[in-house]
């Protein structure tokens, strides 16, 4: 067990709650909810809380709250700042998912700002003449980039839910881009993963590396004046400041000069989609999470539905781990087989999150023996890029945001468009470049997630809420395909009434159907637990490093206390208002 975060903070807040279940159609997900009466006086928050992956981003959000903004305004400020100070994880060149809750309407909404494939993209985009996949162009450079959704999300939130203009909410990010931020250890670590790729692109190297084209030293300032200019265009002109006009011309010219396929129409036609979240009930709690094109909500719902058939607290740790792994295995099998962009494929959401399916699945779980994943007879799995960012925001009115943002691999495609400061994503690699062929991780996808014009690639990003009469939890993390299992383990910690520091600090394990192995952080299991799991037929792999960067907030409505924590593995910070 990792130590509880030293950034734990207590405040007083409260919120109301619903219970519901979701069903899906080709165009989205509909939800019917039944209200649960509240029995607590703490339904009106007294303070606000923010947890994010960087202190500067957290402070930017708190400053907006202090200026009279709400949680949605603060979320814009946090996300914009993260795009500056975490250029390896998020930014204007990427997209993300925003799970928001409007307190006055008592309504949760999922804002899909995922990247879209360019209009001239096609299923064979990354295939060589011999039919094999060209991994390099699928991961590096302009051709790997989908049309970004981040700027559109800022505009959508500001115009529909916020109280302040973008000129205010983007001001901190613009200042940070102009004045620079000091290099920190996590920046150095993440840039190390993509150093050689960044060297290939002079614009990227000139911004993010030192003058010897190496990782900058601690404390060196990373200044991004071109990014400040682009952010200012959005602050001044809204949607047109990024997707039309001079910014769009610069972006398209830079992409096309580097063999990319963006057009001005691709940018001008980008659209945000509001979707109904996935909602299920688990042991008296409503779990609200991300619908397709995220696979997270469906997978979390499926796992929890299976676990609801057991009394977890009666099991020892090895048996509990075995059972949780068996539910992970089955949920990820369904993920690989059925999930994709719901605007392009029929996703059988209602069936996948039904208790009937869960009950049928658990009949095949043997508590004494690991299931062979191939015996489940599903397709092979896919895995996304492993670096993303997450933040959580709660304001004094009870509005809240759980947002997970990404450009896929660290520094995305490693390509920065000249004169814009925009680091492009490589989210096109989240598609199945060829059904039956592996992606950058040697894993295989299926036809439901094949490349198509204007389609959104499947994702594991899982911003979530957990609600009951007693508490509200906001939770999410980066981590590629491990996001789902991290969030699910965090939810279980919350339901066991563990403090928020335990959610973000607990040691983690993961199974994703294929490869058929339990991946885990160092020191997750004792020698006796490893022996017990291996005796059941499990294969274990210590991945040799910690992973994830969870940002969470817990609101205890019985006492009015709120705790907020940032993952101790990284550089984040949680704050509350005075």
- Provide φ and ψ at 167, rounded to 5°: -60, -30
CATH code of 548's domain: 3.60.20.40
Q: pTM of the full predicted structure?
A: 0.91
**452 is in which domain, residue-wise?**
49-277+380-576
Secondary structure (3-state) at 310: coil
What one-character-per-residue DSSP string does 54-105 give? SHHHHHHHHHHHHTT--HHHHHHHHHHHHHHH-TTT-STT-EEEEEEEETTT
114 is in an annotated binding site: yes
- The pLDDT tens digits of the residues spanning 458-485 come to 999 999 999 999 999 999 999 999 999 9
Q: Is 388 an active-site residue?
A: yes
Tell me whether residue 22 is in a domain: no
Contacts 24+ apart (CB under 8 A), 433-437: 433/125, 433/126, 433/127, 433/133, 433/138, 434/123, 434/124, 434/126, 434/127, 434/131, 434/133, 436/380, 437/132, 437/133
Please indicate, yes or no, if residue 25 is contained in any of the structural domains: no
Question: 282, 347, 310: which is closest to 488 by C-alpha?
Answer: 282
22 is annotated as contributing to ligand binding: no
What is the structure's pLDDT at 43? 76
Residue 133 lies in a domain: yes
Cα angle: 437, vertex 438, 442; to 5 degrees: 155
Q: How far is CA 3 from the centre of its chain?
A: 24
**Active-site option among 58, 203, 388, 404:** 388
475 is in an annotated binding site: no
Radius of gyration of the chain (CA): 22
Instruction: Give the total number of structural domains in the chain.
Output: 1
pLDDT tier for residue 8 given thresholds of 50, 70 and 90: very low
For residues 366, 368, 371, 372, the Cα torsion angle rounded to the nearest 10 degrees is: -150
Question: Does residue 464 belong to any structural domain of this protein?
Answer: yes
Closest CA to 188 of 433, 429, 511, 410: 410
**Is residue 86 included in any domain, yes or no?**
yes
Specify the pairing of strand 400-406 against strand 416-417. Answer: unpaired
Residue 313 lies in a domain: no
* Closest C-alpha to 548, from 578, 577, 519: 519
Collect all residues with Cβ–Cβ distance below 8 Å to 100 and sequence separation of at least 6: 71, 72, 75, 108, 109, 110, 111, 157, 161, 399, 400, 401, 402
292 in any annotated domain: no
Give domain status of residue 356, yes or no.
no
pLDDT in tens, 499-556: 999 999 999 999 999 999 999 999 999 999 999 999 999 999 999 999 999 999 998 8
Checking if the pLDDT of 1 tops 60, the result is no
Is 39 annotated among the ligand-binding residues?
A: no
Average pLDDT for the chain: 90
């Amino acid at each position: 067990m990792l130590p509880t975060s030293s950034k734990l903070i207590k405040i007083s807040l409260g919120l109301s709650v619903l219970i519901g279940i979701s069903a899906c159609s080709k165009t989205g997900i509909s939800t019917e909810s039944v209200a649960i009466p509240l029995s607590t006086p703490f339904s009106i928050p007294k303070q606000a809380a923010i947890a994010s992956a960087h202190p500067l981003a957290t402070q930017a959000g708190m400053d907006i709250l202090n200026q009279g903004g709400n949680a949605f305004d603060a979320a814009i400020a946090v996300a914009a700042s993260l795009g500056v100070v975490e250029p390896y994880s998020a930014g204007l060149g990427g997209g993300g998912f925003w799970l928001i809750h409007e307190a006055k309407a008592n309504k949760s909404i999922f804002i899909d700002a995922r990247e879209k494939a360019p209009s001239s993209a096609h299923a064979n985009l990354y295939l060589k003449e011999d039919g094999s996949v060209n991994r390099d162009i699928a991961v590096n450079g302009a051709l790997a980039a989908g049309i970004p959704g981040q700027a559109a999300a800022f505009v959508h939130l500001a115009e529909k839910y916020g109280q302040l203009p973008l000129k205010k909410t983007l001001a901190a990010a613009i200042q940070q881009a102009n004045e620079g931020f000091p290099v920190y250890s996590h920046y150095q670590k993440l840039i190390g993963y993509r150093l050689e790729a960044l060297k290939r692109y002079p614009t990227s190297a000139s911004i993010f590396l030192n003058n010897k084209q190496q990782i900058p030293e601690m404390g060196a300032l990373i200044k991004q004046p071109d990014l400040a200019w682009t952010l200012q265009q959005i602050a001044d002109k809204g949607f047109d400041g990024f997707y039309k006009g001079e910014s769009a011309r610069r972006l398209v010219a830079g992409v096309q000069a580097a063999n990319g396929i963006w057009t001005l129409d691709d940018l001008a036609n980008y659209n945000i989609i509001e979707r109904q979240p996935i909602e299920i009930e688990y042991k008296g709690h409503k779990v609200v999470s991300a619908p397709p094109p995220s696979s997270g909500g469906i997978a979390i719902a499926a796992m929890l539905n299976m676990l609801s058939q057991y009394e977890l607290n009666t099991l020892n740790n090895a048996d509990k781990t075995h059972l949780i792994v068996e539910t992970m295995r089955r949920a990820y099998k369904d993920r690989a087989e059925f999930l994709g962009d719901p605007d392009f494929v029929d996703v059988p959401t209602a069936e996948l999150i039904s208790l009937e399916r869960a009950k049928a699945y658990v009949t095949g779980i043997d508590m004494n023996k690991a299931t062979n994943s191939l015996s489940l007879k599903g397709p092979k799995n896919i895995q996304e890029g492993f670096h993303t960012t997450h933040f959580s925001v709660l304001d004094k009115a009870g509005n809240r945001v759980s947002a997970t943002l990404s450009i896929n691999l660290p520094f995305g495609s490693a390509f920065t468009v000249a004169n814009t400061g925009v680091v492009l994503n490589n989210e096109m690699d989240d598609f199945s470049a060829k059904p039956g062929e592996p992606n950058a991780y040697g894993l295989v996808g299926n036809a439901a997630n094949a490349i198509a014009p204007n389609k959104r690639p499947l994702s594991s990003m899982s911003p979530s809420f957990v609600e009951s009469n007693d508490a509200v939890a906001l939770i999410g993390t980066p981590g590629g395909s491990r996001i789902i299992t991290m969030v699910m383990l965090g939810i279980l910690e919350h339901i066991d009434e563990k403090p928020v520091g335990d959610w973000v600090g607990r040691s983690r394990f993961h199974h994703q159907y294929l490869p058929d192995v339990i991946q885990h952080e160092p020191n997750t299991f004792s020698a006796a637990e490893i022996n017990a799991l291996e005796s059941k037929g499990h294969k274990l792999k210590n991945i040799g490093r910690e992973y994830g960067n969870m940002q969470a907030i817990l609101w205890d409505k019985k006492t009015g206390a709120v705790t907020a924590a940032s993952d101790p593995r990284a550089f984040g910070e949680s704050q509350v208002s005075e």
